[in-house]
């Protein structure tokens, strides 16, 4: 079995070696290749040296590059003997562009995968504070990173690439490429308390029970929390019953609710015991669904971010998974998290959400599919 990392390393060597032998292609490759695309740190040093040589108008060739690397990094880190390996692996046609496209692809895959840590950290902060300000920023940054990765990959592979990246604010572009930001997010996530299944289910039960005494809150709640997203299966049945009764304009009281739950349970196969249902509804009679919604939204955000991050990491590492699919999955996670975050106020202590519900621009979106590209249906 050929290891992906070995092939990527070979492509990195062929890219740099090809540029040393065919430097006329440097300007084009420099348009879409970044130092961070190289998995090998030494290859990043070579790329930095090539860029500096081009900027200074110096020749791009093995000997001057070796001298420049030695001067900048010192003999040990420059390790100029490895330059021979770069030239040695170059095919008969030294054109570096096909190999650089492979380097960009796997650099883009890493970029996409690492956004998961931002989203998990942002969700943890939102759940802790019951506020969305930090998460909103993380969603914007991740959206920008997805867009930049997608446009670079399309440019590298010769496809039509929109220029959304050029229209982004410079600060947003910088944040999307900031590796230190991801390290800080990783540290925060490591220190954050684990989301336990028991706590999430308890929060859901409290919210659903409170809705029984506040029926006008049922429809607004179901707009962001679909019944199938509830992890507490017995109380999911109660939630189904409440949404069906609200949709039908039925009067809701403990007795009518118990009757409807009994019927729905025949379909779902589970429900709380009658004594638990009545006791929990009674206990939450004076609770405000708006406040309880924030706890549940925080739990849902953390769950969505965790599942999304795992999916992005595993899919990005699989070369069979198309980059377009990865981007679509990434933006789907962002949209879901944005819809959940609308429940939360922007800053802690505010009485309610400070922005309208519904989706807003998440940085810049992925390139819109076009009929001749075979991407599938356009996003809504």
Number of domains in the chain: 3
**Is residue 126, in this structure, part of any structural domain at all?**
yes
Which residue among 293, 312, 347 closes a domain? 293
Q: Report yes or no: 6 and 76 within 8 Å, Cβ to Cβ.
A: no
User: Which residue's structure tokens are 């796997």?
Assistant: 106
> What's the confidence (pLDDT) of residue 115?
96
Rounded to the nearest integer, the mean pLDDT of the chain is 91
With respect to residue 59, please indicate whether it lies within any of the assigned structural domains: yes
Among residues 354, 380, 360, 355, which one has the least CA distance to residue 369? 380
More confident residue, 75 or 165: 75
What DSSP line would sit under 163-178, residue for residue? -HHHHS-HHHHHHHT-
Q: How many CA atoms lie within 13 A of 113 on its CB side?
A: 15
Q: What pLDDT sits at residue 86?
A: 95
pLDDT of residue 306: 97
- The reply to whether 74 and 90 lie within a common domain is yes
Same domain as 115, residue 69: no
What is the spatial distance between Cα 339 and Cα 246, in angstroms, rounded to a whole number?
Answer: 22
pLDDT of 150 reads 94
Judge whether 20 lies within some domain.
yes
380 within domain boundaries: no
Q: Are residues 21 and 83 in the same domain?
A: yes
Q: 349 or 116: whose pLDDT is higher?
A: 116
Q: Across residues 208-232, what is the average pLDDT?
A: 97
* Residue 316 lies in domain: 103-192+297-373
Please report, for the chain, how many H helices and E strands are present, in that order.
Answer: 17, 0
Least confident span in 32-36, 294-298, 339-343, 365-369:
365-369
Percent of the chain past pLDDT 70, that is, above it, reads 91
Tell me the pLDDT tens digit for each residue of 76-107. Answer: 999 999 999 999 999 999 999 999 999 999 99
Looking at the fold, whether 185 and 222 belong to one and the same domain comes out as no
Residue 379 lies in a domain: no
Does 208 lie in the same domain as 168? no
Q: What is the pLDDT of residue 163?
A: 79
Co-location of 57 and 33 in the same domain: yes
Q: Flag whether pLDDT at 372 surpasses 50.
A: no
Of 275, 293, 311, the position where a domain reaches its end is 293
Q: Identify whether 319 is part of a domain.
A: yes
Give the whole-angstrom CA distance, residue 190 versus residue 215.
39
Q: Do 136 and 188 belong to one domain?
A: yes
Largest CA distance in the chain: 86
Alpha carbons 133 and 348: distance in angstroms, whole number: 9
Between CA 240 and CA 19 the distance in angstroms is 62
């Amino acid at each position: 079995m050929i290891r992906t990392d070995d092939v990527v390393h070979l492509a990195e060597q062929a890219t740099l070696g090809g540029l040393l032998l065919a430097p006329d292609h440097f300007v084009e490759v420099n348009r879409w290749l970044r130092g961070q695309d190289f998995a090998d740190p030494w290859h990043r040093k070579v790329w930095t040296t090539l860029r500096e040589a081009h900027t200074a108008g110096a020749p791009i060739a093995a000997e001057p590059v070796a001298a420049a690397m030695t001067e900048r990094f010192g003999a040990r880190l420059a390790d100029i003997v490895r330059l021979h390996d770069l030239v040695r692996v170059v095919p008969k046609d030294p054109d570096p562009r096909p190999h650089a496209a492979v380097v960009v692809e796997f650099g883009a895959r890493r970029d996409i995968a690492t956004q998961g840590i931002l989203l998990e950290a942002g969700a943890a902060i939102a759940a802790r504070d019951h506020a969305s300000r930090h998460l909103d920023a993380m969603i914007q940054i991740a959206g920008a990173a997805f867009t930049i990765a997608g446009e670079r990959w399309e440019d590298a592979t010769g496809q039509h690439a929109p220029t959304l990246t050029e229209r982004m604010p410079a600060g947003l572009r910088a944040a999307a490429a900031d590796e230190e930001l991801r390290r800080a997010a990783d540290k925060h996530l490591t220190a954050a308390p684990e989301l336990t299944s028991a706590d999430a289910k308890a929060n859901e039960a409290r919210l659903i029970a409170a809705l029984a005494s506040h029926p006008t809150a049922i429809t607004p709640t179901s707009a962001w929390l679909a019944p199938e997203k509830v992890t507490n299966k017995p109380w999911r049945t109660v939630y189904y019953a409440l949404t069906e009764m609200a949709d039908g304009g039925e009067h809701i009281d403990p007795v009518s609710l118990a009757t409807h739950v009994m019927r729905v349970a025949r379909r779902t196969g589970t429900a709380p015991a009658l004594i638990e249902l009545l006791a929990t509804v009674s206990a939450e009679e004076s609770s405000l669904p708006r406040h309880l919604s924030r706890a549940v939204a925080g739990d849902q955000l953390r769950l969505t971010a965790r599942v999304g991050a795992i999916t992005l990491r595993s899919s990005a590492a699989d070369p069979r998974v198309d980059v377009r699919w990865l981007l679509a999955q990434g933006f789907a996670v962002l949209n879901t998290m944005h819809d959940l975050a609308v429940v939360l106020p922007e800053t802690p202590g505010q009485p309610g959400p400070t922005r309208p519900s519904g989706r807003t621009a998440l940085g810049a979106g992925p390139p819109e599919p076009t009929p001749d590209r075979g991407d599938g249906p356009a996003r809504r």
